[in-house]
Structure 1
Amino acid sequence: MTAKRVLIMCTSANKLKDVDTGCWAEEVCAPFYIWKKHGITATIGSIKGGEVPMDDASLNPPFLTKEVEEFLLDDEAMKGLTESVPLADAKVADYDAIFLPGGHGCVADFPDNAALIKLVEEFAAAGKVVAAVCHGPNGLVNVKGPDGKPLVAGKKVTGFSNAEEYAVAKENLVPFMLEDKLKELGGKFEMAKEKWASHAVVDGKLATGQNPGSSIAVAELVAKLLS
């Protein structure tokens, strides 16, 4: 049996308006190792390809996790992050799932990206797994399901909550609050009782996680869907 393959599609934006940001390291590194443990191959892509911009905060305490530390010392894994596959070269046929990690960078280059929307719609139409964590669901807000309705409509879904956005004081920086947008699209938004607690949900072939700490949980859901 051939190994299952996941495309991790990252942001290429290192700024949101005039604030430095990028991809949130934990949301790439933790799933990468979870899938490796399950014998699933993860390929890192990004909107523009090449080096993925990382949010500095995610590479330093208190947000530096053991998975991120391990990843930074893993030459092969790091090569994936510095030589990521451009979105333009990503083909649905090569993968069993697409995963959108967050970081505020993706707020800038995910929602209205026609090529990303088309790619995610192709994954959904092919009955493949679509997954996202934290701000990653920004890449789902303009995606239609095979029925022509918003992909998240009528589905259990989660993402970075309003309470968490206010907690990081970025509510005036983002073009919309992700929780509000997912609800507006008909998503059945779920969240943890407390801010920053791990929370991941699955509905059919759609798996989403609430915040950086939900990365492992959503990666495990994806592994289960691919098993």
Structure 2
Amino acid sequence: MTTRHPKRILMVLTSNDRMHPTDRPTGLWAEELAEPFYTLTDAGAEVTLASTAGGPVPIDPGSMKPPGDNEPAVDRMLQDEALQRGITHTHRVDELSMADFDAVFFPGGHGTMWDLPKSEGVRRVVEEAAAQGKVIASVCHGAAGLVTALRTDGQPLVAGRRVNSFTDSEERAAGLAEVVPFLLESRLRSLGAQFEGGPDWQPHAVRDGQLVTGQNPRSSRRVAELVIEALQG
């Protein structure tokens, strides 16, 4: 990607901070923002942060450790004043249009499971991206942003497409299969997706044309690399 004509990425984050109806905290998973953000911006892209509600985005406390003990990208994020301002002043996704972007990217975190599927703004930007031939990407639970979108033929966006997300096996291993509103792998399969899961907790990402999906936090960088590949055509 050239610096003269940088690609514009809309990154849509969760605004949900609780695993309802419990009071267990959740939100964005830090690595799933940090790794793609820096992979994309270091390659010359411009990233705009949005969320379902706008304003500050909750970060899952389980995804951050004391400075120096995190993945390098997360520590970089914690020291990045500009990015920290962006996280606390996100745009509301309802107010944005994919006409202004080349790709839409959904980082995960369990928070996404509650608000992304209910957001009309999320559904609209995904459908716009698909209709305009833009790149659509997600990591882990970020694929919750894909489950309500339809193609112009009325079929689910993911029907017949090779996709990936946090697996049902990983959800059970995390002890949250009975907490989340639905199992993401199962939902994608029920929508007609060709789900391609990898081993639990190992990096795994799938690209099907302009659709790029990754399985878990460790897949974050690979998804961003595949997004760059897709944007370069």
Q: Match of 2:33, as an amino acid?
A: V
For 1:87-98, list aligned pairs within 5 A.
Answer: 87-98=93-104
Q: Match of 2:65, as an amino acid?
A: N
* Alignment match, 2:12: 9
Deviation at 1:43, TM superposition (A): 1.2
SS in 2 for 1:166: helix
* Alignment match, 1:134: 140
Q: Match of 1:180, as an amino acid?
A: S
1:86 to 92, 96, 103: 92
For 1:19-168, list aligned pairs within 5 A.
Answer: 19-60=24-65, 64-168=70-174
* Alignment match, 2:230: 225
Q: Match of 1:5, as an amino acid?
A: R
Deviation at 1:63, TM superposition (A): 8.3
Deviation at 1:134, TM superposition (A): 0.3
1:197 to 177, 196, 202: 202
Task: Give the ranges of 4+ consecutive aligned residues of structure 1 lying more than 3 Å apart after TM superposition.
Answer: none
In the alignment of these two chains, the number of paired residues is 226
Deviation at 1:36, TM superposition (A): 1.4
- Contact 1:12/1:47, CA 8 A, preserved across alignment: yes
SS in 2 for 1:138: helix
SS in 2 for 1:45: strand
Deviation at 1:112, TM superposition (A): 2.2
TM-score (norm 2): 0.94
**1:123-144 Cα shifts (integer Å, max 9, x gaps):** 1111101111100111111111
- Contact 1:111/1:139, CA 8 A, preserved across alignment: yes
SS in 1 for 2:59: coil
- Contact 2:94/2:120, CA 8 A, preserved across alignment: no
SS in 1 for 2:213: strand
Structure 2 CA distance for partners of 1:94 and 1:37, relative to 1, 3 Å: same
Deviation at 1:65, TM superposition (A): 1.3
Q: Match of 1:164, as an amino acid?
A: E
Unaligned runs of 5+ in 2: none
Unaligned runs of 5+ in 1: none
- Contact 2:131/2:151, CA 8 A, preserved across alignment: yes
SS in 2 for 1:115: helix
TM-score (norm 1): 0.96
RMSD of aligned residue pairs (Cα, Å): 1.4
Q: Match of 1:112, as an amino acid?
A: K
SS in 1 for 2:117: coil
- Contact 1:57/1:63, CA 8 A, preserved across alignment: no
**1:160-212 Cα shifts (integer Å, max 9, x gaps):** 001110111000111211111111111110111x2110000011111000001
SS in 2 for 1:109: helix
**1:48-93 Cα shifts (integer Å, max 9, x gaps):** 1111100001112798311010011011111111111111221212
Q: Match of 1:203, as an amino acid?
A: D
SS in 2 for 1:111: helix
